[in-house]
Amino acid sequence: MKPLLFLLIVANFVLLGCIFYAENRSRAEAPAAALQIAPEKLKLLAAGVPPPVNRAQQDSPQSCFEWGSFGVEDAQRAAAALAKLPLAEKQLSQRSLTSGYWVHMPAVRTKAEADKIAAAVKARGVSDLSVVRDGEGRYTLSLGVFRTEDAAADYLGKLRTKGVRSAVMGPREARNTVFVIRNPDAAVTAALAQLKPAFAGAELKQATCAETPANG
């Protein structure tokens, strides 16, 4: 009986050892199985094909430049300059400003007189100005167009401190144009910066693009 009892005890120890080994192995293999890659979920990209664009990046607003505002003659010159830039049709649009307040010098009969006044004003440290022709064929020096009367009056006060005593302000009902350049690349941005000095009275600023470009 004693040998049989001994064999039963040894068999029980062997069985318990097998159960313990099996449980430990299954626990060790569980994390490894979780890290395995399912081949059916893999997607191969062809060479040269960029990865999908993140939806949030795709829906982010584009950057625009606004350039203006321009009177009729300057708007034509600016449009001709912009036509020479490598812009797609949808990248360039324009909008109109039909009202506001205007700071300017009194009108004179000839452009030569207006240019002489412009030189005198520049000598006093004023660089944002342009000579424009009004509907009666006279010339005047535009010193800025503003959306509100308070903004125009504030700028007029600054001109007074620089010694520009003859400047006046008043309502501006002329049709002025602002050009909108949508999402320009580095080359176009550099070209715009080079064009700006030729249109001293116009402001070039960065803005968020509207969803739909508006013309006219």
pLDDT, one tens digit per residue, over 95-121 is 877 668 889 999 999 999 999 999 999
The architecture in CATH of the region 60-208 reads 2-Layer Sandwich (3.30)
List, for residues 15-24, the tens digit of each pLDDT value: 555 565 555 5
71-80: average pLDDT: 87
SS3 for 11?
A: helix
Domain spans, the chain:
60-208
Which pLDDT tens digit goes with each residue over 183-205?
889 999 899 989 888 887 788 88
Residue 21 CA to residue 35 CA, distance in Å, equals: 22
Q: What is the pLDDT of residue 155?
A: 95
Residue 113: closest CA among 59, 166, 162, 158? 166
Residue 1 is predicted with a pLDDT of 54
